[in-house]
Chain A
Amino acid sequence: MGRGKWLLLLIIFIAAGGWFILGGEEQGVEGNVRFGRQGADICLAEPQAVSRVAVSGEGGQPFAVAVLGPGVRQKIPIFMNWEPGRKYYFTMTLADGGSAVLAAQSPDERLDRVSLKLRAPYGLSGKDGGGVVPEDSVLTADVLVTNNAEQPVEATLVIAVPAGLEVVAVPDGLRAERSDGTLLLTGRRRLSARNELWNEQLQLRAGKAGTNAVLQASLVLDDGRSHWRQASQATIQTATTAAIGGKIRIAAVEAPVDSIGRVDPKAQSGVLVYAPPSLLSNIWGAQTGGRLDDEPFAYARVTISNDGDEQVLVLVAGKVVDPATGELAATYRVPPHKNDGKGYSYDVAAVGPRGSTSVILPLYLNENSLLAGNYVFRAETAIFGVSQVLAGADRQVQLVARSDRPLLITLLMALIALVGTGWLMWRQEAALARFSTKELVIISLFGTVTFVTVNMPQTILWDIAHVVFGPFSFLFTGFFGQTVLYALIVSLAAVLPRPGAITLMIVVRMILNGFIFGHFTPVQILSYAMLAVCLEGALYLTGATRGPRKDGLGRVALLALACGLVDVVTTYMNFMAYMTLYRLYYADWYIGAVIAAGFVYTAAGAAIGCRLGGTLRRTATD
């Protein structure tokens, strides 16, 4: 490679590096800010994954910082004390590393000195503060009084609960008295500071279906100088669960989707791919996150339609279950510190009349108990506050655990086998010319001996052992498969201490095995190629194939260790090849056990081979 090419390469590297470093540029995010009693709401034109919002004033002084959880949002509430008629800057840090700034002027006038808000059923944010509830269901009415002024104020709250509703429990600090079938709950409180809240939540039981009850809250205020009143009301309609739920259905379930519910055109529907961080993805330049357990691994989108005329508050749960048992699958269990430790994801959606809403539920993956395969994603809906499942829908999801390691190792083996075969074909006789005819014959006869004393007993014994001991037969067949084999290999290296002899012997053995037992499968060819490469390397490094040596105890130990390691590597690679090419499963402890036993058998074989080779060398010199 010339200097020019190096330079070009350098420039490309620098450019790429720069792109990565400077990647977090400001991005165009559209939206506006609405100032409210408790702070400001950022309303974005498009949902965004915002991880942090920092609010600063005109001089750059910080006012508030909000750190947000994962997921995309369109509306971001910021709790802050704003001064009227000032300019504020909202700097949003996006999840992808970018940032955006929105600037907004706060209103000149303050809001009501004291505000009153009544929401019933709580959570169903109808414009009028009311909604439909199932009969006999328990609902919450939420009353919120806020002091927006600096001055203290004396507030008297009266909540009128009509006959159609029953109070489950009277909150402390409220006095109850009945008049005309209406229950009046009265309380008094002094709100001394600005932004001081008075929040009361009433547990109410709805009455029979078909009743309409109007819940009223009124507030009498006194700041010592003047009196004034404020009032608010909510209409609570009661209907049968069937009447509400019958109109609610799950229109669609889609998984995987991205965090804002879009379907990735590349992704295969119903297939979740889990790829642990690996060498390949590092090389490929993909981002490698930490552990997945805490972050959603994928999202599912559940679309709920409401065919009724009333807005309904629906609880949507997404459970990933074992199709065989129907129980929550451990693999997908939501981390215990999330979602009340329920183990699944849920969300609440208000579905407007004759409308539909999509809920995006995060799916978590528990890497510790990860198990690929087929699961069922079960979406369940319930009316908020009623623990009765209204509708459910199942969607099969397949989890593909993409493990690059077996694949990479198999590819590496294939590459080595290809290069080896190519070299053999290219160099042809030249490679073999380094050996005399006698040496070639010695090698092929060693190949035959290997075949007779290793492959034949192995094929026969192995099969018998396999029938009885199954995968654990390695404990018994290692004597032939490894001890005798390596004894022969090492003794051949002692008789013919030249690089290449072992490879030729392995090739001969491979051809024999192919011709006699029909073993001509890619996996076997790969494993022979790997064995040849590893052995040649190890024996060359230990000096066994670099000319005759004396067999000291240290050398025997070194050879035994080297051969043992070769066996460890080749056995491991063989397992990877079997897992990839034959889609077989092996437990890690099992692979470990096979490798450990193999190491012992092999090292013993190599040590014996040293002795055998020594004796042979002494006898064969004539």
Chain B
Amino acid sequence: MIAINNLSFRYPGRDTASIREINLHIRAGEFVLLTGPTGCGKSTLLKCLNGIIPHLSGGECQGEVLIGGRATRSLTMAQLSAKVGLVQQSPDDQIFATAIQDEVAFGPENLCLPRPEIEKRVEWALTAVELGDCRRRSTAALSGGQKQRLAIAAMLALNPRVLALDEPISQLDPQGANEVMTVVRKLNKDYGVTVVMVEHRIHEVAQFVDRMIVMQAGRILIDAPTREAMAKADLIAGMGLRLPDTVEISRRFKLERVAMTVQEAAGMLKTGGAVRTEVFAQRQMRREGAQPVVEVRDLSYRYGKSDKLAVDCLNLVVDRGERVAVMGRNGAGKSTLLAHIAALTPPWRGAVQVAGRAISRSYGLPLGTVGMVMQNPDLMLFQASVRREVDFGLLNLGLPAAVRAERYSRAIESLGLAPLQDDPPLALSRGQRLRTAVAAVVAMRPEIVLLDEPTTGQDKRHIDSMMDGLAAQAETLVFCTHDVDTAIRYATRIVVMDGGRIIAADRPRKIFADETLLARSGLRPTQAWLVGKELGFADIFTPTDLEERWQC
């Protein structure tokens, strides 16, 4: 189906080639995962499949890509569009239309197909991605997962035999990711569509794919069926990619075979031994003498008069030194809660006190009380250089020059931004932009730092370096996340929200052990926990837990 021979490509204005001498053959009906660290050239390779490279890109391209036996170079974009469909990372940015059916009909219309044919294709594509019943709805009202499915449908309407997906789930919540992966698998298995997916969150997709291709520095490093590829887990982990827990367990325990499922892993470990039971200090929910930083009392809020309550009679106390993870489905009220703590929204009913000050319509908070890192850190970067960005808040605080310099350099150091101080923030890489935004927030030394799903679309290494920097700089932290791993690693307490209410608040280990609670709030238990459960061990949440407490 796809044959790539000696393909090299260099972007215009770059010194080095992004991909070098790639040779690759993909059979019809395969589901291939293309992975590797950021900047390894995987997305570039994907763009070569549907002819964006070289037709629309400029740059230097050598070698050839054959789709169904014909070179992409010799095909027009229109012809290629009917062979390879491309779905990109951002669910919001690849949809242009206001109505669902317009988006799907766009491709066939461009191909000048007759109206009945367009109609047929729209119907089919939307049914295939399970959006068949909302043809006339507005695209703005869709969730992230639905948008990604719509983007797939828009491609399907062109009847491509190959679907190229560029990190399609990296910006989605677990539920949305699941929807998308289910649809993609269905397309692959039921409709025989060849799927090439670029994704660095291997743990989320490994179970679906037939074959894994790992790239590094523009070259293919590993190209093998999934299980075989996973055997080289050390190599993959060394790139900073996150492996599925079962693979990680296999790696750490040096199991003879790579476990791809919980059952496999458990089965192989069962013979091994037992887990040391460790008594975690049964901390009280509130320590005596703790200083509350945030006190939310009976908070209710709705956006429009006819809307339902975004938060509903919510109570929450965050003490100094706590790191609270707020989890739950999209629309559970997490962001609304953060907006209230940040005094961006005055409470409608109830009261919010931050650092001892009650927030009201007329009274906000003194500057620097609350720091907030938003879901899209790019929206926080409005200065011409990293230096000015980090200095902006400090200047506004009116601090003496010495204090300012001290805070500035600590923030820069702890987030590893020292070499980038004079670069414009928006020209930095994704991870660097996130760290810049965090540095700008923590430099002000707020009483409390809020993070609204900053992990979205970031790879593991970026998340870890950001969270480490934050943990070092900020005493009290409240963050929203979908990522269980991050929550376990950094939170001292987890607050689970659903329908505007807090349905549970406890230590992470307690929360993640409650399967019904997780299911209710759209979260999934970790594979490691499932393995532990299978083995009859409680309190295992990560492969590290298992490794550390494994007794032979």
Q: Which 3 A-B pairs have the closest CB atoms?
A: A619-B426, A619-B427, A619-B424
Q: Is the CB of B424 within 8 A of A615?
A: yes
Measured CB to CB, the closest approach of chain A to B381, in angstroms, equals: 10
Is the contact region of chain B dominated by helix, strand, or loop, or is it mixed? Answer: loop
- How long is the Cα–Cα vector from A437 to B424 in the complex, in angstroms? 26
Is A368 close to B, CB under 8 A? no
Chain A residues with CB under 8 Å of chain B are 436-437, 441, 615, 618-619, 621-622
Q: Is the CB of B13 within 8 A of A615?
A: no
Q: A615-B426, A618-B424, A619-B426 are in contact. List 9 more A-B contacts (CB 8 A).
A: A436-B56, A437-B56, A615-B384, A615-B424, A618-B427, A619-B424, A619-B427, A621-B13, A622-B427
Residue of B with least CB distance to A622: B427
- How long is the Cα–Cα vector from A436 to B96 in the complex, in angstroms? 16
- How long is the Cα–Cα vector from A615 to B382 in the complex, in angstroms? 10
A437 partner residues in chain B, CB cutoff 8 A:
56
B56 partner residues in chain A, CB cutoff 8 A:
436-437
Residue of A with least CB distance to B382: A615
B424 partner residues in chain A, CB cutoff 8 A:
615, 618-619
Measured CB to CB, the closest approach of chain B to A138, in angstroms, equals: 84
- How long is the Cα–Cα vector from A7 to B424 in the complex, in angstroms? 67
- How long is the Cα–Cα vector from A441 to B384 in the complex, in angstroms? 24
- How long is the Cα–Cα vector from A437 to B426 in the complex, in angstroms? 23
What would 13 A/B residue contacts be, using CB atoms closer than 8 Å?
A: A436-B56, A437-B56, A441-B96, A615-B384, A615-B424, A615-B426, A618-B424, A618-B427, A619-B424, A619-B426, A619-B427, A621-B13, A622-B427
B427 partner residues in chain A, CB cutoff 8 A:
618-619, 622
Q: What is the interface size of chain B, counting residues whose CB is below 8 A from a CB of the partner?
A: 7
Residue of A with least CB distance to B14: A622
- How long is the Cα–Cα vector from A619 to B389 in the complex, in angstroms? 15
Residue of B with least CB distance to A614: B384
- How long is the Cα–Cα vector from A436 to B52 in the complex, in angstroms? 13
Measured CB to CB, the closest approach of chain B to A396, in angstroms, equals: 56
Using an 8 Å CB-CB cutoff, how does the interface string of B417-460 with A read, 1 for contact, 0 for none? Answer: 00000001011000000000000000000000000000000000
Residue of B with least CB distance to A436: B56
- How long is the Cα–Cα vector from A436 to B58 in the complex, in angstroms? 12
- How long is the Cα–Cα vector from A215 to B96 in the complex, in angstroms? 107
A615 partner residues in chain B, CB cutoff 8 A:
384, 424, 426
Q: Which of B8-36 contact A (CB under 8 A)?
A: 13
- How long is the Cα–Cα vector from A621 to B427 in the complex, in angstroms? 9
Residue of A with least CB distance to B381: A619
Measured CB to CB, the closest approach of chain A to B279, in angstroms, equals: 52
Residue of B with least CB distance to A621: B13
- How long is the Cα–Cα vector from A187 to B96 in the complex, in angstroms? 112
- How long is the Cα–Cα vector from A437 to B427 in the complex, in angstroms? 22
Measured CB to CB, the closest approach of chain B to A608, in angstroms, equals: 12
- How long is the Cα–Cα vector from A441 to B94 in the complex, in angstroms? 11
Q: Which of B85-122 contact A (CB under 8 A)?
A: 96
B13 partner residues in chain A, CB cutoff 8 A:
621
Measured CB to CB, the closest approach of chain A to B240, in angstroms, equals: 22
Q: Which of B42-63 contact A (CB under 8 A)?
A: 56
Measured CB to CB, the closest approach of chain B to A50, in angstroms, equals: 78
Residue of A with least CB distance to B383: A615
Residue of A with least CB distance to B12: A621
A621 partner residues in chain B, CB cutoff 8 A:
13
Residue of A with least CB distance to B429: A622
A441 partner residues in chain B, CB cutoff 8 A:
96
Residue of A with least CB distance to B428: A619
- How long is the Cα–Cα vector from A622 to B429 in the complex, in angstroms? 10
- How long is the Cα–Cα vector from A599 to B426 in the complex, in angstroms? 32
Residue of B with least CB distance to A444: B96
A619 partner residues in chain B, CB cutoff 8 A:
424, 426-427
- How long is the Cα–Cα vector from A621 to B13 in the complex, in angstroms? 9
Measured CB to CB, the closest approach of chain B to A547, in angstroms, equals: 17
- How long is the Cα–Cα vector from A5 to B418 in the complex, in angstroms? 77
A436 partner residues in chain B, CB cutoff 8 A:
56
Measured CB to CB, the closest approach of chain B to A434, in angstroms, equals: 15
Measured CB to CB, the closest approach of chain A to B198, in angstroms, equals: 19
Measured CB to CB, the closest approach of chain A to B316, in angstroms, equals: 33
A622 partner residues in chain B, CB cutoff 8 A:
427
Measured CB to CB, the closest approach of chain B to A443, in angstroms, equals: 13
- How long is the Cα–Cα vector from A441 to B56 in the complex, in angstroms? 15
Measured CB to CB, the closest approach of chain A to B58, in angstroms, equals: 10
Using an 8 Å CB-CB cutoff, how does the interface string of B56-72 with A read, 1 for contact, 0 for none? Answer: 10000000000000000
Residue of B with least CB distance to A615: B384
B96 partner residues in chain A, CB cutoff 8 A:
441
- How long is the Cα–Cα vector from A295 to B471 in the complex, in angstroms? 90
Measured CB to CB, the closest approach of chain B to A142, in angstroms, equals: 91
